[in-house]
Structure 1
Amino acid sequence: MKKIVLTANTSWYLYNFRLGLIKELIKQKNKIFIVAPKDNFSPKLKDLGCTFFSIKVDNKGSNPIKDLSFFYVLRRIYKKINPDIVLHYTIKPVIYGSFASQKLSIPHINNITGLGTVFIDPNWITFFVKILYKKALISSSYVFFQNKDDYKLFIKNKLISKFIPISIIPGTGIDLDKFKLSKYPKSSTLNFLFIGRILKDKGFFEFVEVAKRIKNLGFKVDFKILGYLNAKNKTAITESEINHFQKKGYINYLGSSDNVIPFINDASCVVLPSYREGLPKSLLEAASIGRPIIATDVTGCRDIVSNGKNGFLCKPRNIKDLYQKVLEFISLPYQERKKLGENGREIMKKNFDEKKVIKKIINHINQIV
């Protein structure tokens, strides 16, 4: 039995993105420790049989004093657990968790799950974060990237040593049994669905503006938004902004839900005009269920969407191009929309099967310890 730690910036992240991996590790008789901030998903992780350690992560800030304190907290927890290996997810846990693991000579696998706002609009903080990444990753036992663009960026900027073993995997993939292919809807109203944290960086304002323009043309369409408000992110959209656009009749806010399947089932198309992604889970889920996708041609999204095959790619931060892609989708006959969705399902089966991805991750864990 191995003692395995998973560290991330939210319990929500680990439950929603790494649940399959956690379940399989427990099934194989490993002792699992979760190190993350306490939220509504922490009890669910405990219910699985995980031992939980609560931490505080300043996700929005760049205060070196707070970050140094975060390092010491992780080092203290890791020393107490004395794990065989640690799996780090999200930016600050990867960086400061690596420093803590280095000090204690603990093997650790780092997962580059997306580079966040700091890489969307580069500034002096971006330069500083690159230095931290370079110093943190030098002791990695293994590094997984979720997309080709992040992999190329780290190689180009020499942020990772050529002696560190690395590979690209699609997160933990998608559960094809849970997110089954469903019948494409025949509703006379086309439903465009946005799923995700409601942030400016997710292309929220582009989505709303296109909804306004399309509705003004008189098409029978509905633009729906499903996701959490008040995210701890400097680009978060406020509840008052959501209410304003909803009163105008541009969008229909559905609230948030732990079960996205019925919402995707009702959708004609899933839309994500994001500025940058790691590997968007909402698009994996949409494709697996058999829904066409309109997304921006950016890191993460282009790993899932093949333009013209299972959806359309548009230019980021470009309302006109997103508008044109939505119009193009509306003009398609029912059978062509349905075919786009079916193609997406086939792509998921071929490249994103969760069982294959988890098997690869666990094989690497077993090789290291």
Structure 2
Amino acid sequence: MTGRIITKSRCSTPMRPSGIFCTRATERPPRPARGDEVPRRRFPWRERPRFNHRGTLMRLVRSFQELADGDRRACAAIGNFDGVHFGHRAIIDTARKQALRHGGPLGVVTFEPHPRAFFSPHAAPFRLTDCRTRAERLERLGVDCLFELEFDREMAGLSPEDFARLVICDGLDLRHVVVGENFRFGKARAGTTDTLLELGRTLGFGVTVLPLLRASTQQISSTAIRNALLAGQPRVAARGMGEFHRIAGRLRHVQSNRFRLTAMEGGRVRTDLMEPRAGLYSVGIQREGGARLAGTAAIGHRLPPYDKPLEIDLRVFGGDASLHVEEACVVLLDYHGCPV
């Protein structure tokens, strides 16, 4: 895979569909000029890892004991980063500027499971992305260290002061943290951004608080993107997320040109991924090995207790029906309503 010449920030405009994913001729990207480097598109999670601004690959750290010397004194963005939308990217870009200023690594601190899922395990699934998709998107943004900390009862019971001292200072040894203005932390979400600023002055780490990013008159947030998907508006969701919503999983041949995709991550079914509005969609299907196909998808409703994975029935146009089981990624493009 060759390199890429970048003339504009990745997060400046949403990713436009290309090739078979274009629904109108006007949406096709312009042809590259002579001399431009154009990479060959490949399967998203088989793509060769991109190097960050330090020339290294992203490290995944899941506990304080795994922290290496090169991971210390990082400038880190803190949050859940579900969907890694433009608002998240603005926070990461600010953390990157601090990392370049101080000469340290760029980090992202997140939690697994999602705190909302921890406190309400029987609520309707709401996750936009699984762990692997989130990590891949963060790696593409040039993050040096992903601190994916376990959110358990002990973490949930920390006061704001203990969180700042035991996690930010003693545990991860962060130099500077960047958060959004709606950031809350500590037991019962008692800590606010003002609390974090005060603790930073006391304990000796820098804090930057960013206002929420807006597109026109609407805030860009994971909640707004979920609401767009629940309303059957995948293109509205794409404008906030920077790319079309994807559901990764295992593709199984049913008959003829019909397939069924079961949401999975690393061989394990995912029951916590949200389901978009039920109905028919125009979709793109990206298969392992880089083959891209067009088709339609039928998405239904899951009922409580939500212990089954999201499943999608697919009809593929011009696909190879001899395929039986393989990993695939479904990209939601347009909603066509519910069948009568």
| Structure with larger RCO (C-alpha < 8 A, sep 6+) | 2
Shorter-normalised TM range: 0.3 to 0.5
Q: Normalized against structure 1, the TM-score is what?
A: 0.31
